[in-house]
Amino acid sequence: MSAEPYEPEFQQAYNEVYNCLKDSTLFDKKPVYKKVLPVVSVPERIIQFRVTWENDKGEQEVATGFRVQFNSAKGPYKGGLRFHPTVNLSVLKFLGFEQIFKNALTGLSLGGAKGGLCFDPKGRSDSEIRRVCYAFMKELSRHIGQDVDVPAGDIQVGGREIGYLFGAYRHYKNSWEGVLTGKDLNWGGSLIRPEATGYGLIYYTEAMIKYASQGKESFEGKRVVISGSGNVAQYAALKCIELGATVLSLSDSKGSVISETGITAEHIYAIQDGRAAWKTLEQIVGEASVFSGSSVKYIAGARPWVHVGKVDVALPCATQNEVSGAEAEHLVANGVKFVAEGSNMGSTQEAIDVFEGVRLQTASASAPAVWYAPGKASNMGGVAVSGLEMAQNSARVSWTRETVDAELKKIMTTCFDDCVTTAKEYSNESNVEALPSLVKGANLTGFIRVADAMLHQGDVF
Ligand code: NDP
C-alpha cells in the first residue's frame, strides 16, 4: 500500500535518481545514505488551494493551485511557478524533487520546491492575468517569505506575472521583501536573470565540449538543434549564435522552425515580440517581415530532432519528456556528440538509455562518444542567478551585468567539474577516465549534499 496515487512523472524522476545511486559504489562506501532516499522523496509539505477569479466575460473561473515545499535542509524553499493546463501534483512533485538536487548543485544555500496553477494563460488579457496572479497569491502569500520560500517563474510565468505576483504579495503582507525572483530591474531584480538559464546551459555545454575535446573545440562551427522558443530556448540560441554556432531549429507546442543555414538573432527577436502577443511560431514566421524570403521553414506538428541534418549538439529547451528513444537514436545516427537539457527531464528514460548506452560502448579519449547532461545540472543557471538575486536583495545592492555573468559562468563550470569528479569517485564503470556519466555525477553530487544536510540536522537518523 502507498499513500501516493499513481504519479508517473514523479516516479520517473525518482527512478532516475535511485538508479544512479544504486548503480554506483556510493551505498557500499557509505551505507548511511541508504536511509536518506525514502525520507528525501517525501515532500516536507504540499499546499493545494482553490483559486477563483473573474474572467473578461464577467464569469467566475476556478482552478487548482499548488506549492510543493519539498526540502528545506539546505536553505529556504526555492523553485518556479508554472501556469499550464498540464499542471498536476505528479508534475509538480517531479519538478520539486529535481529542484532539491539542482539547487544543491549551485553551491548556494537553497532548498527545493515547485508550484503552479492548472490554467492556460494563452490568449487571456493583461488585466485577466493580473486578476489570476492576485487570486493565486491571496493563498500562496500565507506560505512563503524571503526566509521561508522564494518562488520564481517557469513555463508561462515570466516577468509580467512575477510583477503581478510580487505586487499582490506586497499588498497582502504589507512587506517589500525579496520573496520572488525574476523581478524587474527597477524594483529588485538582477541583471542576467532573464538570460541565466539559457546562458548557463551554454556555459555548461561549453565545459563539456572543452573537456571531451581536451581543449581543442568550442561552440565555434557547431551545428545545434534546439527545441522550444520560450525564455530558455531564446537565450540559449542567442548565446550559441554569439559563440559562432549554427542554430538549426526552435519549436513550440504546435510545430518547429528549421533552417539548415541558421536561425539568426533577428529571427529570435521577432519570435520574442510575437510570443509576447501569444502568437504561435507558425503565425510569427508567416507574419514577421524578417522571415520573408529567408531559409527558415515551418513544420506543423513536429519536434525538431528528426528534421535537421548533421548535428553536433542537441539542447531540449521546451518541456519534460520531449525526446523519445527513437528520436535519440536518430540524433545519434546524425552525429550528435553533446546533449544537454535546458528543460527539466527533457529526455525520456528511453532516450537517456540510448545516450548513455552509446557513451559506455564507445567512450575513449580518441573517439569521443555521445555525452548527456541532465537538466538538474545543465539548466541550474536560472536558479543560481535567482540565488544571486536573493543575495543582492538582502544586501540592498545591485551587481553589474559583468559581475553576475562571470559568477554564473563560474557556478556552471564548477558544477560541471563537481559532476565529473563525483562520477569518477563513485563510478563502477571500467572506462571512467574517458567520459564519466554526467547523469550519475549530477545526481550523486546533489544527493550527497542534501543527504549530509539532512543527516546533520536530524531529518534522517
Ligand atoms: P516558456 O513558457 O518561456 O517556454 C516554453 C516553451 O516550451 C514554449 O516554446 C512552449 O510552446 C514549449 N512547450 C511548453 N509545453 C510544451 C509541450 N507540452 N509540448 C511542446 N512544447 C511545449 O518556458 P521556459 O522557457 O521558462 O521553460 C522551458 C523549460 O525549461 C521547462 O521545462 C522549464 O521547467 C525549464 N526551466 C526553466 C527555467 C527558467 O528559468 N525559465 C529554469 C530551469 C528550467 P507553446 O508556447 O506553444 O506552449
Ligand 1 pocket check for 231: Cβ under 6 Å:
yes
Domain closes at, from 353, 378, 403: 378
Whether 355 and 224 map to the same domain: the answer is yes
Give the CATH number of the domain where residue 331 resides: 3.40.50.720
Task: Kindly report the number of other CB atoms within 10 A of residue 377's CB atom.
Answer: 28
Task: Kindly report the number of other CB atoms within 10 A of residue 55's CB atom.
Answer: 13
Ligand 1 pocket check for 92: Cβ under 6 Å:
no
In Å, the largest CA–CA distance within the chain is: 66
Does residue 395 lie within any of the structural domains? no
Q: For ligand 1, atom 43, which residue shows the shortest CA distance? A: 379
Question: Rounded mean pLDDT of the chain?
Answer: 96
Question: What is the number of the ligand 1 atom nearest to the C-alpha of 156?
Answer: 2
Q: What is the pLDDT of residue 368?
A: 52
Enclosing domain of residue 81: 38-177
End-to-end Cα separation, the chain, in angstroms: 24
Q: For ligand 1, atom 44, which residue shows the shortest CA distance? A: 343
Look at residue 161 and tell me whether its pLDDT is greater than 50.
yes
CA distances, 297 to each of 221, 293, 398 (Å): 22, 10, 42
Q: Which residues contact 426 (CB under 8 A, 6 or more apart)?
A: 24, 25, 26, 29, 440, 444
Does residue 184 lie within any of the structural domains? no
Tens digit of each residue's pLDDT (9 = 90 or more) over 176-190: 999 999 999 999 999
Does residue 7 lie within any of the structural domains? no
What's the rounded mean pLDDT across residues 156-179?
98
What's the rounded mean pLDDT across residues 401-410?
98
Whether 306 and 250 map to the same domain: the answer is yes
Q: Residue 365: pLDDT band by 50, 70, 90 thresholds?
A: very low
Q: Which helix (H) or strand (E) holds 326?
A: helix 325-333
Whether 265 and 356 map to the same domain: the answer is yes
Tens digit of each residue's pLDDT (9 = 90 or more) over 257-304: 999 999 999 999 999 999 999 999 999 999 999 999 999 999 999 999
Domain closes at, from 378, 397, 429: 378
Measured in Å, residue 56 CA sits from the centre of ligand 1 at: 26
Whether 231 and 83 map to the same domain: the answer is no
Does residue 447 lie within any of the structural domains? no
Tens digit of each residue's pLDDT (9 = 90 or more) over 58-101: 999 999 999 999 999 999 999 999 999 999 999 999 999 999 99
The annotation places the binding site at 78, 99, 102, 153, 197, 231, 386
Does residue 409 lie within any of the structural domains? no
Q: Residue 433: pLDDT band by 50, 70, 90 thresholds?
A: low
Whether 173 and 227 map to the same domain: the answer is no
The domain tally of the chain equals 2
Does residue 126 lie within any of the structural domains? yes
Whether 145 and 201 map to the same domain: the answer is no
Whether 201 and 170 map to the same domain: the answer is no
Whether 163 and 200 map to the same domain: the answer is no
Q: For ligand 1, atom 42, which residue shows the shortest CA distance? A: 382
Measured in Å, residue 251 CA sits from the centre of ligand 1 at: 10
Ligand 1 pocket check for 90: Cβ under 6 Å:
no
Whether 117 and 227 map to the same domain: the answer is no
Does residue 429 lie within any of the structural domains? no
Q: What is the pLDDT of residue 160?
A: 97
Q: Which residues contact 21 (CB under 8 A, 6 or more apart)?
A: 27, 33, 37, 443, 444, 447
Q: How many residues does the chain have?
A: 461
Measured in Å, residue 60 CA sits from the centre of ligand 1 at: 28
Ligand 1 pocket check for 381: Cβ under 6 Å:
no
Active site residue 74: no
Look at residue 367 and tell me whether its pLDDT is greater than 90.
no
Q: Residue 369: pLDDT band by 50, 70, 90 thresholds?
A: confident
Whether 306 and 164 map to the same domain: the answer is no
Whether 173 and 231 map to the same domain: the answer is no
Ligand 1 pocket check for 379: Cβ under 6 Å:
yes
What's the rounded mean pLDDT across residues 167-196?
97
The annotation places the binding site for NAD(+) at 197, 231
What is the arrangement of strands in the sheet containing 77-83, beginning at the earlier edge strand? 45-54, 60-71, 112-117, 77-83, 149-153
Q: Grid coordinates representing 110?
A: 537553497
Strand ranges, E, within 227-288: 246-247, 249-252, 255-258
Q: What is the pLDDT of residue 364?
A: 57
Question: What is the number of the ligand 1 atom nearest to the C-alpha of 86?
Answer: 18
Ligand 1 pocket check for 115: Cβ under 6 Å:
no
Backbone angles phi, psi at 298, to 5 degrees: -105, 135
Angle between helices 8-22 and 438-456 (to 10 degrees): 90
Whether 232 and 350 map to the same domain: the answer is yes
Helix (H, G, I), strand (E, B) or coil at 369: coil
Look at residue 110 and tell me whether its pLDDT is greater than 60.
yes
Give the CATH number of the domain where residue 128 resides: 3.40.50.10860
Does residue 238 lie within any of the structural domains? yes
Q: Which residue out of 74, 93, 114, 183 is catalytically annotated?
A: 114
Domain closes at, from 378, 402, 426: 378
Measured in Å, residue 241 CA sits from the centre of ligand 1 at: 20
What's the rounded mean pLDDT across residues 28-56?
98
Mutational test site, ligand 1, from 102, 252, 344, max ligand atoms within 8 Å of CB: 252
Q: What is the pLDDT of residue 434?
A: 76
Q: For ligand 1, atom 29, which residue shows the shortest CA distance? A: 343
Tens digit of each residue's pLDDT (9 = 90 or more) over 291-344: 999 999 999 999 999 999 999 999 999 999 999 999 999 999 999 999 999 999
Look at residue 441 and tell me whether its pLDDT is greater than 70.
yes
Q: Give the global pTM.
A: 0.96
